[in-house]
Amino acid sequence: MWFMPLHDNGNLKITDFPGFVDPDNGNYRLKLDSICVDMGHNDFAGGEYDLCGNPRVLLETVDIGAHELTRWFVANWGWDGHDGLAGDRPKETIQAAADAARPGNFILVPQGEYTPFETGKAVHIVGLDGAGQTFINGHGRRCATMGPETMLIGFTLQHGRADHGGGAFGGTLERCILRHNNANSMFYWGTSGGGAHSSRLINCLLYDNEAQVGGGAANSELIHCTVTQNRAWQGGGVHWSWVQNSIVWGNGWHNDNHVDSTLLYSCTTPAAPGDGNIAANPNFTEGFRLHYTSPCLKRGSVHPMARDKDLAGDPRVSYFDLVDMGAYESMSWGPLDLVQLAVSSVPVNESGFSNPPPGVYEIVLGLKFTASVAPEYHGEWDSQFGISLPQYQCVGWTGTGDIPASGSTNEVTFMPAQNSSITWVWTTNQWLSVTVYGEGSVDKPTGWYPLSSTQTVTATPAPGYVFSHWTHNASANNTASVLMDGPRELWAHFVPQETQSAPRPVPYGWLDEFYPGQKGNYEAFVTTRDPGNGYFIWELYVIDFDDPGDPANRFYADITFEKGKPVVKWNPDRGAARDYALLGKPKLDALEEWIETDPDDTREDLHFFKVKVDLPGYRDVEK
């Protein structure tokens, strides 16, 4: 019980808590909203200064207790030459007020935009109109650099930049928003704490901050905070931090929300060891508040450092010593009429792709509710196919209660009047990769096909081509059946269509190009002679198109001795189909004949391939 003399009218008993800043840790200074502020009697002031050397009776009436609540006023229309001790004489910058303040003083800042500051003093800097209306803009500098006992309450810190702690470094931040800050150096590795570094954050929202390590916060303590949409190469949410009653969700670049951190009674993924942690989609609504079906409702634990108000200034509501996780407290469940909604998935037990995720929830009777699910998601990355496999695709749902019996969409909106359930129906698809070699087409494109289905693929050659064979399939014709019991690939091969009647096959395409009038008469035509030069048509193809570099077109000479005389013969000898004799000599079986041929004569019109022959007892000759 607390007593105080009140003017000359006797004693007034005050039974309310006096409102100390942090009595558990020995800080018995008065809070800004303490009932003891300006409630003493000036005749009993007890001197000109309080315990910390601050002047007594700063305004009109002395405070109760050993510490006088000294207030400095700041406004963006003020002037740093003012003394800052009254609302009509404010300083312009927080920095000027902090320089003038003493430990335990309060610096009061109304709505507006302000420049960065730096102080190591144990002062309280308070945004009177809250973080939604009071801003510190870094514009390339760190927004707030504070000592361990400095407190910053009710500000938005934005567009700050520093190697460590782009938004804030040190101090305690309460009911603050830290956004669009950066600690991602281009010059060296290790910059950390995009939002905050070495700070204590209570009832704060950290989003869209960036760093190399600890995109939201690094080396910090977070209580009742929401950390989301931050980015870092390591610890997109938090790094090397202690976290309780918080939500650390949806941070990038490497999707590691937390690294080397301790979490308790918090929501994050991957699941963190520790009491009370969950790994479920928090179901944010606009402004990162919690949907009334959020699994984070009443899953936090009352913490001695927690405050009685959330980021928005709304009261924390405790049910059996349980409060909400995150920066915002939801409405109480007590006065609401609730019904149950059961959410499930078949045949796959997906998690994280439906909203709300699989589970049983209490939702508000008579309040429109929407359940939704991602249209598809994928499994693990497959390096062979270069895609994540398999694909899970939502094909609809079944329902009971107030939800229709079935549907084919990925969203259901209904008015709850009774217990209901929804089961999302999924199908699993596998990847079929189809590749065409040569000129032709297939009737099934590369894509996803239902698991365990049999896909029939037909190959159709282009004009002048024929289907040759499949790779990765044993079918002997142009139709292949593929069982999709896993990822599959199929190659269709097409080759030019060729005649079969001549000693050497001739492609239809070559005949169409040089003898377009012979369509449909290819087989007979290639064995006739060209009236202009007397060669068979197939011979002209060989002469014009055989590739000397092709191993199939290489010929070798066998040297034998018959009756003491060397004889040269071709190996192999194709008889009448000798390609090498088309414009050369049909028979080369005498050494004299060989030698008489000019060994340096490699004219193209002879169409002899150059060979080297070692003759026993004779010099090397070439042809």
Indicate the pairing of strand 454-461 with strand 440-442. Answer: antiparallel
Please report the pLDDT score of residue 2 as a whole number. 33
> Minimum mean pLDDT among 42-51, 136-145, 323-332: which range?
42-51
Q: Which tokens in the block code for residue 214?
A: 């600890």
pLDDT tens profile 276-318 = 899 999 999 999 999 888 888 888 887 777 778 899 998 887 6
Please report the pLDDT score of residue 327 as a whole number. 96
> Which residues make beta-bridge pairs with 239?
218, 259
| Whole-number Å distance between alpha carbons of 35 and 18 | 6
Q: What is the DSSP string of 478-544?
A: SEEEEE-SS-EEEEEEEEE-B-SSSSS--BHHHHHHH-GGGTT-HHHHTTSBPTTT--BHHHHHHHH
| Whole-number Å distance between alpha carbons of 95 and 121 | 12
- Cα→Cα distances 97→84, 109, 123, 128, 514, Å: 7, 10, 10, 15, 95
In the chain, domain spans: 1-69, 508-545, 551-622
Please report the pLDDT score of residue 153 as a whole number. 97
More confident residue, 65 or 497: 497
Backbone angles phi, psi at 323, to 5 degrees: -130, 175
How far is CA 462 from its chain centroid?
43
Let me know the angle formed at the C-alpha of 574 by 568 and 580, rounded to the nearest 5 degrees: 65
Q: Which of 238, 251, 243, 239 is nearest to 275 (CA)?
A: 243
Instruction: Taking the CA atoms of 470, 471, 472 and 474 in sequence, report the sign of the dihedral they define.
Output: positive
Q: Which of 197-206, 287-296, 348-357 has the highest mean pLDDT?
A: 197-206
pLDDT range class, residue 376, cuts 50, 70, 90:
confident
Answer yes or no: are the C-beta atoms of 422 and 435 closer than 8 Å: no
> Minimum mean pLDDT among 64-73, 97-106, 138-147, 410-419: which range?
64-73
For the sheet with 210-213, list strands across it: 182-183, 210-213, 231-234, 252-253
More confident residue, 117 or 299: 117
Backbone angles phi, psi at 43, to 5 degrees: -70, -20
Residues with Cβ within 8 Å of 397's Cβ and at least 6 positions away in sequence, in order, are: 373, 403, 406, 407, 409, 412, 422, 423, 424, 425
pLDDT tens profile 24-47 = 777 776 766 777 766 776 767 667
Indicate the pairing of strand 406-407 with strand 387-400. Answer: antiparallel
Q: Which of 142, 136, 139, 140 is nearest to 107 (CA)?
A: 136
- The burial of 389, by beta-carbon neighbours within 10 Å (0-12 exposed, 13-18 middle, 19 or more buried), is given as middle
Q: Which of 95-99, 359-363, 371-375, 525-529 has the highest mean pLDDT?
A: 95-99
pLDDT tens profile 237-259 = 999 999 999 999 999 998 789 99
| Element containing residue 363 per DSSP (H, E) | strand 359-364
Indicate the pairing of strand 411-414 with strand 369-373. Answer: antiparallel
| Whole-number Å distance between alpha carbons of 150 and 124 | 6
pLDDT tens profile 212-246 = 999 999 999 999 999 999 999 999 999 999 999 99
pTM of the model: 0.52
- The mean pLDDT value for 141-145 works out to 97
pLDDT tens profile 537-579 = 887 777 665 444 455 545 556 666 677 666 666 665 655 555 5
Please report the pLDDT score of residue 80 as a whole number. 96
Please give the share of the chain, as a percent, with pLDDT higher than 90.
47
Look at residue 425 and give its three-state secondary structure.
strand
| Whole-number Å distance between alpha carbons of 503 and 162 | 81
How far is CA 251 from its chain centroid?
8
Instruction: Taking the CA atoms of 31, 33, 34 and 39 in sequence, report the sign of the dihedral they define.
Output: positive
| Whole-number Å distance between alpha carbons of 325 and 272 | 15
Q: Would you say residue 319 has pLDDT above 60?
A: no
Answer yes or no: are the C-beta atoms of 324 and 299 closer than 8 Å: yes
| Whole-number Å distance between alpha carbons of 430 and 386 | 13
> Which residues make beta-bridge pairs with 125?
107, 152
Q: Would you say residue 486 has pLDDT above 80?
A: yes
Residues with Cβ within 8 Å of 25's Cβ and at least 6 positions away in sequence, in order, are: none
Answer yes or no: are the C-beta atoms of 195 and 172 closer than 8 Å: no
Q: Where are the beta strands (DSSP E) in 52-102?
A: 71-73
Answer yes or no: are the C-beta atoms of 258 and 268 closer than 8 Å: yes
How far is CA 195 from its chain centroid?
20
Residues with Cβ within 8 Å of 261's Cβ and at least 6 positions away in sequence, in order, are: 235, 238, 239, 240, 241, 242, 243, 272
User: Taking all residues of the chain, what is their mean pLDDT, rounded to a whole number?
Assistant: 82
